[in-house]
Chain A
C-alpha cells in the first residue's frame, strides 16, 4: 500500500526559505499517469493547491505562488521536494503531499499525514 510522509522544519523565520520533502513508499514515483503534488491548509481553513511535478521533471505551479516556488523530484530516492522562498506569516499552514491522478479533474489519493509549518521569528 502506497504511503507518503512529509518531513522538514516546523518553524521557519520570515523572509527565509521553507523546504519540505515527501518520501514515497510502497510504489515507485516513476509512474507515467501520476503527478506528485503539494497542498496546504492554514489551521481552521480550507485547502489550497501549491503545485505538482511529474517524475520526468515537468512542473505545474499555482500562479499565486509561482514566483517563490520550486518543486523537484528525485527518482533515485523515490521522493519529491518543495521549496518556497521569502516566506511570511501567511505561509503558515499544514503542508500535505499527495499522489495526483491526471486526466479530467486531477484527484489526489493517497495523502501524507501533513506537517505543520509555522513562520515566525
Chain B
C-alpha cells in the first residue's frame, strides 16, 4: 500500500556519498507534510533516523541528512561505512489515508 516511491537499491564504496530519493504526491509530501526516515537492520525493528524533513534524533551522526523539495525528499549518507548496510524507509502523512504512509524501501549496499 506504499504511495511513496523509493529506488529498490543504492550502493557505494566506503567513504562515498549515496542519496536515496522519496517521491510522493499532492496528498502527502506535496501537501507540505513532513518527511521522516527510518533505518532497519535485518530482523530488527525500524528506528527513526531523520524527522521533520531535516532533524536528527540524539545519537544519529551528522553523516545522515535529509532534504525536501516539492513532492519529493532525499536522504543523503556521506562517508559511507560498512555498517550502514540496511533498509531505509521514508514516511510522511497522507490526506487520503488520514495517517502515516511509507515509502517502498531502499536497500543500501556498501561495495
A47 at interface by CB-CB < 8 Å: yes
CB distance from A42 to the nearest CB of B (A): 11
Complex contact B45–A111 (CB within 8 A): yes
Complex contact A105–B48 (CB within 8 A): no
Complex contact B93–A104 (CB within 8 A): yes
Tell me which residues across on chain B come within 8 A of A62, comparing CB atoms.
Answer: 1, 97, 99
* Chain A residues touching B, range: 20 to 34
Complex contact A107–B51 (CB within 8 A): yes
Q: A49-B99, A64-B1, A109-B57 are in contact. Are A104 and B32 (CB under 8 A)?
A: yes
A100 at interface by CB-CB < 8 Å: yes
> In the docked arrangement, what's the CA distance between A112 and B32, Å?
29
Of the candidate stretches B13-21, B78-86, B101-109, the one touching chain A is B101-109
Complex contact B99–A60 (CB within 8 A): yes
Majority secondary structure of chain A interface residues (helix, strand, loop or mixed): strand
Complex contact B51–A109 (CB within 8 A): yes
Complex contact B57–A105 (CB within 8 A): no
B100 at interface by CB-CB < 8 Å: yes
* Chain B residues touching A, range: 20 to 34
Give the most central of B2, B45, B89, B91: most A CB within 10 Å: B45
Complex contact A106–B99 (CB within 8 A): yes
B23 at interface by CB-CB < 8 Å: no
Q: Which of A60, A105, A110 contacts B35 (CB 8 A)?
A: A105
> In the docked arrangement, what's the CA distance between A14 and B37, Å?
34
Tell me which residues across on chain A come within 8 A of B98, comparing CB atoms.
Answer: 60, 63
B residues in contact (CB < 8 Å) with A = 1-2, 32-36, 38, 44-48, 51-52, 57, 89, 91-93, 97-105
18 additional A-B pairs beyond A47-B91, A105-B35, beta carbons within 8 Å, are A46-B89, A47-B102, A47-B105, A49-B101, A63-B97, A103-B34, A104-B32, A104-B93, A107-B36, A107-B51, A107-B52, A108-B48, A108-B100, A109-B51, A109-B57, A111-B45, A111-B47, A113-B45
A residues in contact (CB < 8 Å) with B = 37, 46-49, 51-52, 60-64, 96, 100-101, 103-114
